[in-house]
Structure 1
Amino acid sequence: MQVYLVGGAVRDTLLERPVTERDYVVVGATPAEMLAKGFTQVGKDFPVFLHPKTGEEYALARIERKSGAGYTGFVCDASSSVTLEEDLKRRDLTVNAMALDDDGNIIDPYKGQQDIENRCLRHVSAAFSEDPLRVFRVARFATRYRYLGFTIAPETLTLMQSMANSGELRALSAERVWQETKRSLLEATPDVFFTVLAESQALTSWFSELGEHLTEALACLTLAASPLSVSSEEASHDKDTQLAVRFSALCSPLNPTQVSQLCSRLKVPNQVSDLARLLSQFKQHLLTDFSATDSVNEAASALLNIFNGADAWRRPERFSLLLTAMTPLAKRSHLDWPAQTTLIQRALSAANDVNVQDIIATGIKGPAIKQALNDAKCSAIAQAM
C-alpha cells in the first residue's frame, strides 16, 4: 500500500498558494484493508475513505470508463492493481495530475510542472471529453489563476468547444453548474469565467439570456468585483452578500423575465435570485436623478413607489443591499451615486417616521387608512428632499 498527496494541494504548493485541503490517493489497497486501518468509507460510486484522526479524504486509485450521459455516467475500477499513473491520467488538467510521495518527490507523468511554468491549462488525455462538467471547471481554473497569467491551451479550448457543441453540457445538474459559477463569481476576476464559456461556445447551454448582453454584463460584473468600486464597508461584506451583488451585476442588463428564467434554470438560491430580480425591476427607477427633477412631488411619489415595490419597510437590509448592487450601473451611467444614495436613504428615513397610529387617531378608518398613510409618507419624502 502506497499513499500519495495528489491534485490541488500539489498544484498550489508549486504555485506558492495557500493549501486549503489535502486529498490522497492510495495505491495497492482494498476497501477491506482501509476499513481494517480504521478508515471510514464514504464513497458509493468509488471507494473514498476518511482518515480516522484527520478526517482527510483518501481515495483508492481508480480508472473510469464512460457508460452514459453526463458527469455520473461512469463505471469505476478501483482494484488494487490500478497504478498511480493510471489514476492521474483520468484527471482533468495536467496541473492537477501530479502526486507527492512521502519523501517529497513529485510524480509528474503528464508534465504538469512544465505547464505550471508555462502558465498553461492543458487537458491530460482525450478522456477529458467524457465529463462535461470539466468545461465549467476549466473556466473556473482560468478565472482563479488569471492573475498568475494562466491561459487555456488551444487544443484544450478546441476540445471544450467540441464538448459544448455535442449538447452534453445540458445533461449536467443545475446544482453542479451553479457551484462552479458561484465559486468563479467570488474570484478576483469573475468575468473570465463567462468569457471562457463564450469562447468555448458553452454559454448558450446554461446562460443563454446573457447572449447579446454579454459585453455589458461583464463590464458591470468587473465593476462590482473591483476593490476600487466599493467602499470599505461594502468590501467587508460576507461571501454570501458578495455573491448576491456580483450575480446581480451580471444580470443587470437583463429584463425581469430573463432574470427569472436564468435563476430558475440554475436553481439560484433565494437570497441571490431575489436581489437580481429586484435590481432588474427597479434599476431604471433608481437611476433617475431625483435631485434634478422639476417636481419634488413627482420625485417623492416615484420614490414611494420604489419603497413600496421593493418592500423597503419590512426588508430594510435587502433594500440597502439593492442600493449597493446598483453601484456598477450608476458608475456606467455617470450618476453621482453616493449623493443619490444619500437622498434615497434620507427619503426612506423620513417616510419611516410617519406613524400610522397618528393617522388612525384623526378618525380615518378602513381602506382609507392605506391611502392616507401613502399620502403622509409622500409628503414626508418631499419635505426631506
Structure 2
Amino acid sequence: MTEFDSQVTTYLVGGAVRDQLLGLTVKDRDYVVVGATPEAMAAQGFLPIGKDFPVFLHPETKDEYALARTERKSGVGYHGFIFNTDTTVTLEDDLLRRDLTINAIAQDQQGKLIDPYGGVEDLKNGLLKHVSPAFAEDPVRVLRVARFMSRFADLGFKIHSETQALMRQLVDAGEIENLVPERVWQEIKNSLNQAKPSAFFLTLRECGALVKLLPEIDCLFGIPQTKRWHPEIDTGLHAMLAIDQAKDLDNDVAYAVMVHDLGKGITPEDVLPSHRGHEAAGLPLVEAVSERLKVPNHYKKLALLVCRWHLHAHTIMELKAASIEKLFTRLQAYRQPQLLEKFVLACEADATGRWGEEFQQYPQADFIRQLFQAAYHVDKKPLFERGYEGEALGQQIRQLRISAIQSKKKELMENL
C-alpha cells in the first residue's frame, strides 16, 4: 500500500472520538477521507463496500473509511437522499451532515480535535443536540437519538429541546412510518443490551414515535395492575422496569421480556386491575409484533413461550408435580435445556422488574432449575430393559419424571 498524496487527509470520526472523550471503550474506528476519489482509494488497496456512497475497508485493519460527503434530501424516508463525494467536499461539510454534535467531532493524525459544531461542549454538558436543521430530513435519526439515550441516560444525558421538537416534526410529518421494519428492529435490538434500555422506548414515546412503531407497548402506559403484585401499578412502567432488568441477558431473552405482558394492553376495562388470562391473550400480539419487525424465528419462539407460561414460573411452588412436568414438556426443555434457562432468566427479569424490596429476590429460578435436573436425569434404562416402547415408553418416562419432581420438590420445600 502506497501513501496518499498531500492533498488527501484522513480523520478519525464519529463514535470512536465520542467514546474516547467519554472514557469509554472504543469498539469500532471509522474514518473520513478528504480529497480522495474512489479510484485513488482502490489504488491504495482499499476494498469498496458502500452501496449508496463510497465506503471502503482498510486492507489490513478492516476499519471503515468513507469519502467525505454531503447529502441532499430528494424524497421521503431515509433512502431519499442524493450524495456528493466530490474531492472539494471539506471535513466541515462532512461533519455538518451528521446527526448529533457529539458525533460530529473529528481527530486528525496528530491527535488534534476538529470540533466545528460544539460537540465537545455538549459531551461535557450531557446533551444530545442536532448539528443542523437537516436532522429533520432523516427519520432514522429519531431511532438513533433514542438508542443514544439508552446508552447514555445513566450518564445524565438529556435531549436538547430543539432536537426534541425536530423529532416530533419528523413523526408528525409521517416520515417515521416510512422506516423499513428491518431498520426499526435493528435499532430496538441494539438498544436492549444498553445501560438503560427503557430510555429508548421512553424517548420514542415522548416524541410520539412509539405509538406508530410499537402501539402494543405504547398502550400499556396508564393501564393499572393489582398493587399487591405490582406496587408500581402502571403496566407501562412495569414493562420498562423489566426491560431494564434484562439488559445484561442474551438479546433474545431481553426481547422476550420486552413483549411478555402485551396481553395486558387488551384487558377489558371492566375487569381491571386484574389481568386474568393475559398470557394467552398476548400470544397473537407477540406474534404480530415479531412478524412486523421481522425478528429472528428463535427470538419469536422464546418470546411466545415466555408470554404464555411466565405465570407458571412465578407460581412454581404451588404447582403439582404433574403440572410442572407438563410445563417442562411445553417449554421443550428435555430437548433444549438451554431454552429452559433462557425462559427462567426472562421470568426472573419480569418478577424483579417491580418496585419494592420483596420483589428483588426470585427463589423460583433455582427451584425450577433443580426440579428440572431431577426430571431430566431420571434413569430410563430399566424401562428399556423391561421392553417398553412407543407411547407406553413415553408414559412411563413421564411417570418417572413426575415422581422425581415430586420427591425433589418435597425436599426443597422442607428446606425453605
* Cα displacement string for residues 159-194 of structure 1 (whole angstroms, at most 9, x for unaligned residues): 111212222223222222222222211112111111
For the residues of structure 2 that align with 1:92 and 1:262, how far apart are their CA atoms?
Answer: 28
Q: Does the CA-based 8 Å contact 2:252-2:299 persist in structure 1?
A: yes
CA deviation after TM superposition for structure 1 residue 15, in Å: 1.9
Q: Does 1:137 pair with 2:158? A: no
Q: Does 1:286 pair with 2:293? A: no
CA deviation after TM superposition for structure 1 residue 309, in Å: 0.7
For the residues of structure 1 that align with 2:101 and 2:389, how far apart are their CA atoms?
Answer: 73
Q: Does the CA-based 8 Å contact 2:152-2:195 persist in structure 1?
A: no
CA deviation after TM superposition for structure 1 residue 51, in Å: 2.8
Alignment correspondent of 1:39:
46
Q: 1:2 to 1:376 in 2, by over 3 A?
A: closer
Q: 1:329 to 1:7 in 2, by over 3 A?
A: closer
Map residues 1-385 of structure 1 onto 2, 5 A cutoff. Answer: 1-213=8-220, 214-225=236-247, 241-254=249-262, 255-290=282-317, 293=318, 299-331=320-352, 332=354, 334=358, 339-355=363-379, 358-359=382-383, 367-385=391-409
For the residues of structure 2 that align with 1:111 and 1:373, how far apart are their CA atoms?
Answer: 69
For the residues of structure 1 that align with 2:51 and 2:369, how far apart are their CA atoms?
Answer: 53
* Cα displacement string for residues 260-301 of structure 1 (whole angstroms, at most 9, x for unaligned residues): 2222222222333322221111111121152xx4xxxx6112
For the residues of structure 2 that align with 1:35 and 1:64, how far apart are their CA atoms?
Answer: 23
Helix, strand or coil: the match of 1:204?
helix
Q: 1:353 to 1:116 in 2, by over 3 A?
A: closer
For the residues of structure 2 that align with 1:180 and 1:348, how far apart are their CA atoms?
Answer: 36
Gaps in structure 1 of 5+ consecutive residues:
226-234, 236-240
Comparing 353-362 and 202-211, the one that deviates more? 353-362
Q: 1:55 to 1:339 in 2, by over 3 A?
A: closer
Gaps in structure 2 of 5+ consecutive residues:
1-7, 221-235, 263-281, 410-416
Helix, strand or coil: the match of 1:59?
strand
What TM-score, normalized by structure 2, do the two folds share?
Answer: 0.80
Residue type matched to 2:254 in 1? R
For the residues of structure 2 that align with 1:318 and 1:12, how far apart are their CA atoms?
Answer: 35
Q: 1:32 to 1:222 in 2, by over 3 A?
A: closer
Q: Does the CA-based 8 Å contact 2:151-2:196 persist in structure 1?
A: yes
What TM-score, normalized by structure 1, do the two folds share?
Answer: 0.86
For the residues of structure 2 that align with 1:342 and 1:44, how far apart are their CA atoms?
Answer: 50
Residue type matched to 2:122 in 1? D
Q: 1:367 to 1:17 in 2, by over 3 A?
A: closer
CA deviation after TM superposition for structure 1 residue 361, in Å: 5.5
Helix, strand or coil: the match of 1:82?
coil
Q: How many residues align?
A: 365
CA deviation after TM superposition for structure 1 residue 48, in Å: 1.6
Residue type matched to 1:85 in 2? E
CA deviation after TM superposition for structure 1 residue 128, in Å: 1.0
Alignment root-mean-square deviation, CA? 2.4
Residue type matched to 2:198 in 1? D
